């Protein structure tokens, strides 16, 4: 497979525009084809060098090395397995699959055929999370003791024209936004070994707020307010809150607390942002310069990282084992909320290699 890694995109929804804007700017990556069950949606974004296709033909195409899977969560496993069966690498939008069992099937199939699995979010490869990790690894706050991670909003139906899938199995704040926060926590503090949690669904219906379906009600199938406690294998304990039921709050995104100080980590739904450090010997919050990560990164930097790893024969960072572990933690948290018991997390993963400051 010489030259650039050739990417075929399946699923032309809201998020596809961000990938189509950033992937052409990345070295080592070339978008060659786009596909959707609605062929007209694919045709609408096709342009010079990027052809429109049907999904079945894209999987078998000779000019596609990796399938970027941007379908809705319930289709992630089926699309990934089709791509793998055709001998393609695959990169899924988050979550990896609806269940840990489905995610394991994807990874096992890829291992059997010698292809790679990547998965969003790749935001943790940007300067925000990577600078925080650099400071943690350098001992800037001593030994990590605990962390908090908060994402609260009134829900995506205010702005998304077709928000129903956010409230079906595979959605909700935990499966939709949780991967950003959990991937950041695992990147910073390592894998999780057990969880406890509670969940609520205050409303069983929501209303579309924009677009042609504005004013239409639809059912809610999943918890929309989830809290959890995570015990990392390192011994650190994280507190998590993911909610689509909060109109306003003044909570931080992520903070990490150590024996010598604290670290403020920017929104893991973005690539950059300012990291701030509080140390017991200098008792004030101090902004820290970027020290690691892909500078100026956007959606798809995880695919470029994978392309570099394929060329070098090394491990890519936004990898399948990490995504599977994050999915397992999220699923275990929902199970703990239902059972009222602490639940073990049965998967494991290594912290991905740090990203030197570049770009």
Task: List pLDDT tens digits, range 38-80.
Answer: 999 999 999 989 999 999 999 999 999 999 999 999 999 999 9
What is the C-alpha separation between 11 and 37, in angstroms, rounded?
8
Closest CA to 197 of 163, 239, 234: 239
- Averaged pLDDT for residues 292-302: 97
What is the C-alpha separation between 175 and 169, in angstroms, rounded?
9
CA distance readout (Å), 171 to 73, 143, 184, 311, 333? 8, 35, 19, 35, 14
Q: Is 50 exceeded by the pLDDT of residue 1?
A: no
- Averaged pLDDT for residues 321-348: 98
Q: What are the phi and psi torsion angles at 159 (to 5°)? A: -120, -25
What is the C-alpha separation between 82 and 189, in angstroms, rounded?
34
Q: Is 50 exceeded by the pLDDT of residue 192?
A: yes
50 by DSSP, 3-state: which? Answer: strand
Q: What are the phi and psi torsion angles at 298 (to 5°)? A: -145, 180
What is the C-alpha separation between 295 and 272, in angstroms, rounded?
8
Closest CA to 14 of 144, 166, 152: 166
Closest CA to 113 of 135, 132, 86, 139: 86
- Averaged pLDDT for residues 272-300: 96
Name the burial class of residue 86, with classes exposed (0-12), middle (13-18) and buried (19+) by CB atoms within 10 angstroms of its CB: middle
- List, in order of start, the domains of the chain with CATH numbers: 5-119 (3.40.50.720), 125-295+325-344 (3.30.360.10)
Closest CA to 236 of 218, 254, 215, 223: 254
| 8 A C-beta contact, residue 286 and residue 301 | no
Q: Is 60 exceeded by the pLDDT of residue 143?
A: yes
User: Could you tell me what percent of the chain has a pLDDT over 90?
Assistant: 97
Q: In sequence order, what DSSP letters do the residues of 104-137 get, joined into one string?
A: HHHHHHHHHHT--EEES--GGGBHHHHHHHHHHH
Closest CA to 151 of 210, 221, 209, 224: 224
What is the C-alpha separation between 135 and 354, in angstroms, rounded?
11
Q: Is 80 exceeded by the pLDDT of residue 182?
A: yes
User: Could you tell me what percent of the chain has a pLDDT over 70?
Assistant: 99
CA distance readout (Å), 248 to 152, 242, 251? 8, 13, 9
Q: Is 90 exceeded by the pLDDT of residue 303?
A: yes
Confidence of residue 283 (pLDDT cuts 50, 70, 90): confident
Please report the pLDDT score of residue 142 as a whole number.
98
Confidence of residue 2 (pLDDT cuts 50, 70, 90): low
SS (H, E, C) 213-248: CCCCEEECCCCCEEEEEEEECCCCEEEEEEECCCCC
CB atoms within 10 A of CB 189: 23
Please report the pLDDT score of residue 359 as a whole number.
75
- Residues with catalytic roles: 94
Please report the pLDDT score of residue 127 as a whole number.
98
What is the C-alpha separation between 312 and 306, in angstroms, rounded?
10
> What sign results for the dihedral spanned by CA atoms 92, 174, 37, 24?
negative
| pTM for the whole structure | 0.96
Closest CA to 42 of 31, 54, 25, 32: 54
| pLDDT tens per residue across span 149-175 | 999 999 999 999 999 999 998 899 999
Distance between first and last Cα of the chain:
25
């Amino acid at each position: 497979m010489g030259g650039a890694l050739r990417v075929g995109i399946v699923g032309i929804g809201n998020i596809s525009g961000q990938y189509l804007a950033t992937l052409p700017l990345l070295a080592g990556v070339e978008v060659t084809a786009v596909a959707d069950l609605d062929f007209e949606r694919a045709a609408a974004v096709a342009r010079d060098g990027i052809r429109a296709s049907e999904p079945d033909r894209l999987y078998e195409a000779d000019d596609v090395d990796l399938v970027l899977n941007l379908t809705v969560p319930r289709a992630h496993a089926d699309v990934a397995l089709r791509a793998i069966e055709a001998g393609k690498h695959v990169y899924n939008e988050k979550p990896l699959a609806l269940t840990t069992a489905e995610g394991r099937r994807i990874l096992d199939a890829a291992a059997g055929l010698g292809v790679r699995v990547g998965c969003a979010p790749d935001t943790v490869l940007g300067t925000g999370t990577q600078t925080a990790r650099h400071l943690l690894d350098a001992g800037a706050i001593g030994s990590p003791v605990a962390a908090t991670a908060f994402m609260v909003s009134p829900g995506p139906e205010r702005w998304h024209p077709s928000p129903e899938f956010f409230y079906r199995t595979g959605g909700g704040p935990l499966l939709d936004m949780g991967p950003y926060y959990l991937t950041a926590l695992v990147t910073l503090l390592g894998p999780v070994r057990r969880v406890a949690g509670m969940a609520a669904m205050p409303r069983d219906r929501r209303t579309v707020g924009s677009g042609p379906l504005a004013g239409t009600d639809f059912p809610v199938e999943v918890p929309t307010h989830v809290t959890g406690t995570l015990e990392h294998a390192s011994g650190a304990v994280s507190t998590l809150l993911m909610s689509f039921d909060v109109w306003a709050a003044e909570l931080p995104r992520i903070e990490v607390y150590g024996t010598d100080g604290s670290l403020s980590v920017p929104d893991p739904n973005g690539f950059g942002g300012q990291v701030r450090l509080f140390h017991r010997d200098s008792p004030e919050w101090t902004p820290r310069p970027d020290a690691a990560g892909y500078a100026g990164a956007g959606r798809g930097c995880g695919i470029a990282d994978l392309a570099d790893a394929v060329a070098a024969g090394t491990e890519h960072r936004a990898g399948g084992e990490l995504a599977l572990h994050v999915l397992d933690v999220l699923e275990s948290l929902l199970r703990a909320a239902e059972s009222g018991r602490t639940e073990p997390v049965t998967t494991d993963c290594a912290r991905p290699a740090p990203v030197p400051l570049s770009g």
